[in-house]
Structure 1
Amino acid sequence: MDSTEIQQFYARHMQLLDGGSAEAWARTFTPDATFTAPSMTEPVRGREGIAAGARAAIEDRAAAREVHRHWVNMTVTSETDEGADAADGTDSTEAVSYVQILATGRGAAPRVLLSCVMRDRLVSRDGELLVAQRRISRDDRPLS
């Protein structure tokens, strides 16, 4: 996986979420993906759970009359053997990114809603990048 491919993946990935396409966004995860964030009591497992969380977030934004933009930057990648399977041609890469979420209410100035670190394990399956594991840590909360 090269850096341009990963950058383009994250651009499409976050535009799906910010555009309200919960199911399409969830399809950018592997069927058995895990998603862990400080606001969750347990990791979410699988595409359906990930899509349900995205739908809830999209509904919350609509109720608040806000637009959110996920800004992924400063991504550093490293190849990993975790989850790699030479038999099916799967490559695995760890990607660590800084993410800021900008929120803009109707008629309001944009504000930084959240700053966090996103740690993903990306896999390439049939020429397509997918998130196999996502772990989010927030800058405003101590690491546990």
Structure 2
Amino acid sequence: MTVELVGTAERTLQSQRFAALYAEAQQFYAHQMQILDTHDTERWAGTFTEDAVIELPFLPGPVRARTGLARYVRAGAARQRRAGSRLDHWVGMLDVQPQTDGSLHTRCSALVYVTPCGGSSKVLYVCVMEDVLVRTRGQWRTAHRRVTRDDLA
């Protein structure tokens, strides 16, 4: 009976730890996408590691390091202003896989909405986002991101 109670207590503790970790990952993405949508470029780049790599399906190669990420987001914000529209991101269906090294491997759906000035929002892209998150200085940061789009082979 005692062994069974210990096993149950351990499973409960593991379940609680995972639930807390999962909530942290959800909060990380909510925060990161809100920063991206407001074009707070430097803060958004700060949610990545110094040597982060992001692979986007519509770019010829990976974007490397925070400076490259910030430059990419600034250019996107300028394009949106010229077009008179804004983009918003929604992340859901998050799967979190803790790794033995303390990192998290995540996979989620990401929807990108476009809203023209004075118009109605519509889904622009349906994506899958696969990340490696690492904790640095007490904060989760993206070390690697790979984005694929449903409309591209």
TM-score w.r.t. length of structure 2: 0.84
Counterpart pick for 1:5 among 24, 36, 43 = 24
- The DSSP-based 3-state class of the residue aligned with 2:59 is coil
Give 4+ residue runs of structure 1 displaced > 4 Å after superposition. none
Distance in 2, matches of 1:59 and 1:76, equals: 33
- The DSSP-based 3-state class of the residue aligned with 2:132 is strand
Identity %: 37
Distance in 2, matches of 1:56 and 1:126, equals: 29
What is the match of residue 95 of structure 2? 76
2:124 is the alignment partner of 1:113: yes
How far has the Cα of 1:136 moved from its partner? 0.4
* One-letter code aligned to 2:94: T
Unaligned runs of 5+ in 1: 85-90
How far has the Cα of 1:138 moved from its partner? 0.4
Counterpart pick for 1:99 among 110, 120, 136 = 110
How far has the Cα of 1:116 moved from its partner? 0.5
Count of equivalent residues: 134
RCO comparison, higher one (Cα < 8 Å, 6+): 1
More helix by share: 2
Counterpart pick for 1:32 among 36, 51, 57 = 51
What is the match of residue 134 of structure 2? 123
Distance in 1, matches of 2:26 and 2:57, equals: 25
2:43 is the alignment partner of 1:43: no
How far has the Cα of 1:126 moved from its partner? 2.3
Unaligned runs of 5+ in 2: 1-19
Distance in 1, matches of 2:69 and 2:147, equals: 14
2:32 is the alignment partner of 1:21: no
TM-score w.r.t. length of structure 1: 0.89
**Larger Rg: 1 or 2?**
2
